Structure 1
Amino acid sequence: MKEFFITATDTDAGKTFVSCALIKALTQNFTKGFTKDICEGLTEEKAPVQKVAAFKPIAAGCELVNGQLINEDAKLLSDFANCGQSITDINPIAFAEPIAPHIAAKKQNKHITLTEVSDHYQQVKSLNADFTLVEGAGGWRLPLGHTSLLPAEMKASFTGNSKAVSQKPSYHFLSDFVKLADLTVILIVNMKLGCLNHALLTYEAIIADGVNCVAWIANSASSEQMNNLAENIAELEQILPIAKIAQFDFFASIDEEGKEITFDEKINLAAQKIDLAPLLD
């Protein structure tokens, strides 16, 4: 089983859209990334159906439906994953307010722990899917909240008096879960002003954590196209020492003829643009 964590340079970078496209590519276009000798003799109809599970451990910004908090991103993931997961299976930790999850938890006198996230992930792993895609929240360093207070340190002055140093909370981050679960990271770069700095800093943080980042995707998440988009992508191809497996322009909801383009149609178009080969090595 291959396990990937989808992170991004910032929030609203299109993680869910890209995750759905990746799931679609893995389930429907699996042979696209294989070498010729592996695929020889396989027709599209005979290509094996790959099982892909989805997991979005934490989400803030949910709607209460029949007594259950439903996150729209988790619902979309459930539409494309093919392991029979419920929305709660995919998104076990959900908050109504669209704010930082650890703050939402604190307002409810709750605390998000690494153990809780890891326990939920073990249930996903028990599905024995061929691929599991874990979608993060926000960027790489999403806080889960403080775990404990470090003991106060005492400093002796020359007069023999002691002064307490301010106590600082010890924080856990969602990236700590990625490390514990040994997930391979795919980085989504939100193509906008500042993306060169954001992409490099995020990549460096991932590598500094000892996590394998295998590929990146250039995603134009906004309808307002970035100035000098091609030049910025070319720079990123030089700066980031990993494979670019896709480049997505903004997918409008109306085509040039005024016809509505559904989310499924957008995902189908995006999935065809993904080079799966670097993910299958």
Structure 2
Amino acid sequence: MNATIDPARRPAWFIVGTDTGVGKTFVSCALLHALRQRGLSAIGMKPVASGTDDAGNNEDVDALAAASSVEAPRALRNPYCFAPAIAPHIAAAEAGVDIELERIVAAFNELRTLADATLVEGVGGFLVPLGDEIDGANLAVALDLRVILVVGMRLGCINHALLTHEVLSARGLRISGWVANRIDAEMPRFTENLQTIARLLPTPLLGIVEHGVTPQAAAAALTLPL
């Protein structure tokens, strides 16, 4: 890590998905490996996670940690983690916890000092509630990072991609690009859908993640918007 660079100027991105289950964590891990393959230290953050095993571990949080090249306290990498695999605002309410954006921003600012580049993975779809008055969009705006959009390539992806991109733009967020993640290996007319999204989104395609590859292999197909 180049400690002489102001942490606020080190590259960082917020990873947004077109829906839940579109592969945000997998693509985030691939991007972390891509950064590492280019000689940068990199760390992943999952501010809010739901669903843990008997030991209290969350699969997404652990995957990001494994793909990172820098170790950090879990309180920084994952400020909020809830046991049931349900919507975070419901899980937080059941646990009697208020998800606070200030706590997440503070954790991110400290985490950012530890590596050359930082990735922050969002929760579910972009507008998923985090509480009575805040959602994933509020979190993205509070962090004020460049955004990478993960499009899960399956039936309906064109609409989901366009809607999410429109909301990102309406919130004033800077969109670095999008990644096509082939979550459905048997998707009919994959190429035609890909070409349509690429034509309609005013944002560069950063790469195509093929179905069944490892994050390390997927990294080679990704262009980093440094």
User: Within 5 A, what are the aligned runs for 1:87-236?
Assistant: 87-127=74-114, 129-146=115-132, 171-223=133-185, 225-236=186-197
Aligned residue in 2 for 1:25: 34
Residue 136 of structure 1: SS of its match in structure 2? strand
Q: Partners of 1:107 and 1:181 in 2: how far apart?
A: 26
User: Within 5 A, what are the aligned runs for 1:5-20?
Assistant: 5-20=14-29
Which range is displaced more, 174-183 or 229-238? 174-183
Letter in 1 for 2:156: G
Aligned residue in 1 for 2:7: none
CA contact 1:78–1:86 (8 Å) conserved in 2: no
- The alignment's TM-score, normalised by the length of structure 2, stands at 0.92
Instruction: State yes or no: 1:271 paired with 2:223.
Output: no
Q: Partners of 1:126 and 1:269 in 2: how far apart?
A: 28
CA contact 1:75–1:87 (8 Å) conserved in 2: no
CA contact 2:48–2:88 (8 Å) conserved in 1: yes
Give the superposition deviation at 1:86.
3.9
Aligned residue in 2 for 1:250: 211
Gaps of 5+ in 1: 31-48, 147-170, 253-265
Residue 137 of structure 1: SS of its match in structure 2? strand
Once the two structures are superposed, residues 141-162 of structure 1 have per-residue CA deviations (whole angstroms, 9 ceiling, x without a partner) of: 121111xxxxxxxxxxxxxxxx
User: Within 5 A, what are the aligned runs for 1:51-66?
Assistant: 51-65=41-55
Q: Partners of 1:177 and 1:77 in 2: how far apart?
A: 19
Moved over 4 A (4+): none
Once the two structures are superposed, residues 46-100 of structure 1 have per-residue CA deviations (whole angstroms, 9 ceiling, x without a partner) of: xxx31112110000011242xxx21111111111111212444311210010000
Which range is displaced more, 85-94 or 236-245? 85-94
Residue 73 of structure 1: SS of its match in structure 2? helix
CA contact 2:51–2:86 (8 Å) conserved in 1: yes
Give the superposition deviation at 1:230.
0.3
Residue 166 of structure 2: SS of its match in structure 1? helix
Instruction: State yes or no: 1:70 paired with 2:57.
Output: yes
CA contact 1:216–1:243 (8 Å) conserved in 2: yes
Q: Partners of 1:126 and 1:177 in 2: how far apart?
A: 20
Larger radius of gyration: 1
Give the superposition deviation at 1:216.
0.3
Give the superposition deviation at 1:111.
1.3
Aligned residue in 2 for 1:167: none
Give the superposition deviation at 1:221.
1.4
CA contact 2:77–2:107 (8 Å) conserved in 1: no
Letter in 1 for 2:58: N
Percent sequence identity over matched residues? 38
Question: Going by fraction, where is strand more abundant, 1 or 2?
Answer: 1
CA contact 2:182–2:210 (8 Å) conserved in 1: yes
Residue 59 of structure 1: SS of its match in structure 2? strand
- The alignment's TM-score, normalised by the length of structure 1, stands at 0.74
Residue 273 of structure 1: SS of its match in structure 2? coil
Q: Partners of 1:121 and 1:64 in 2: how far apart?
A: 27
Residue 187 of structure 1: SS of its match in structure 2? strand
Root-mean-square deviation (CA, aligned residues, Å) is 1.3
